[in-house]
Structure 1
Amino acid sequence: MSAIHINKNNFNKEVMESDKPVLLDFWAPWCGPCRMVVPIVEEIARENPDIKVGKINVDEEPELASQFKVMSIPSLFVMKDGKIVNQSMGAQPKKQILAMLK
């Protein structure tokens, strides 16, 4: 499965009500480090059917970025049962992103 585009309209259904852990990637198309993380996040989405992966474009969804207090992108958040259980800022290698999900 590929990453899901998350916006304020589907946020509750896809993230808050998810029965799987959710990896959220806050990004923007103009952000160089974000472009480095995109293939890693997509690969994680394809290889891990037990995890839901969502991408949030901070330019299109400023309310969600504000709700998560995103000050720097890329920012990655792991959500379980509607709660943030892990987070990181900046480009991360795949191994480190996967470690956040444990």
Structure 2
Amino acid sequence: MPALHSSVIRSVTDADFGELVLAASGPVVVDFWAEWCPPCRALSPLLEQLAIAHPEVAFVALNADDNPMTAEQYRAAALPTMKVFRGGEVVKTVIGAKPKPALEQLFAEYFDQKG
């Protein structure tokens, strides 16, 4: 299946989630998504815009259908679900697609910060 996200947002899998998300030095926004999910498709370009505007935050995408172990572990049952990880722990959960201004507000505390 083709990836929903562009090269701006890195795809992660069950296999590399620990290395790319849990061991990351700064905040990571994980977008749990699926190919069949229209709100996921609507959210994707907004997250890409945020990733470009805020390079200090890593934005990654995990296809919940292809990586059910991680999606289940982090209770990402409703899609899209975004979870912010810091220091290997979930520090924020956002369920459902939101407009860009809402996303900027929800993630503002993680922007312009290091580590």
**TM-score, normalization: structure 2?**
0.83
2:71 to 65, 72, 79: 65
Identity %: 29
Q: Does the residue aligned with 2:26 lie in a helix, a strand or coil?
A: coil
- The match for 1:99 is 105
Check if 1:8 corresponds to 2:10: no
Give per-residue Cα distances to partners, 1:16-35, cap 9 Å, x unaligned. Answer: 11111000000011101111
Letter in 2 for 1:68: Y
Q: Distance in 1 between matches of 2:53 and 2:101?
A: 13
8 Å CA contact 1:28–1:58 kept in 2: the answer is yes
Aligned-pair Cα RMSD in Å: 1.2
Query: Which structure has the bigger radius of gyration?
Result: 2
- Would you say how many aligned residue pairs link Structure 1 and Structure 2? 102
Check if 1:78 corresponds to 2:68: no
**TM-score, normalization: structure 1?**
0.93
Letter in 2 for 1:89: I
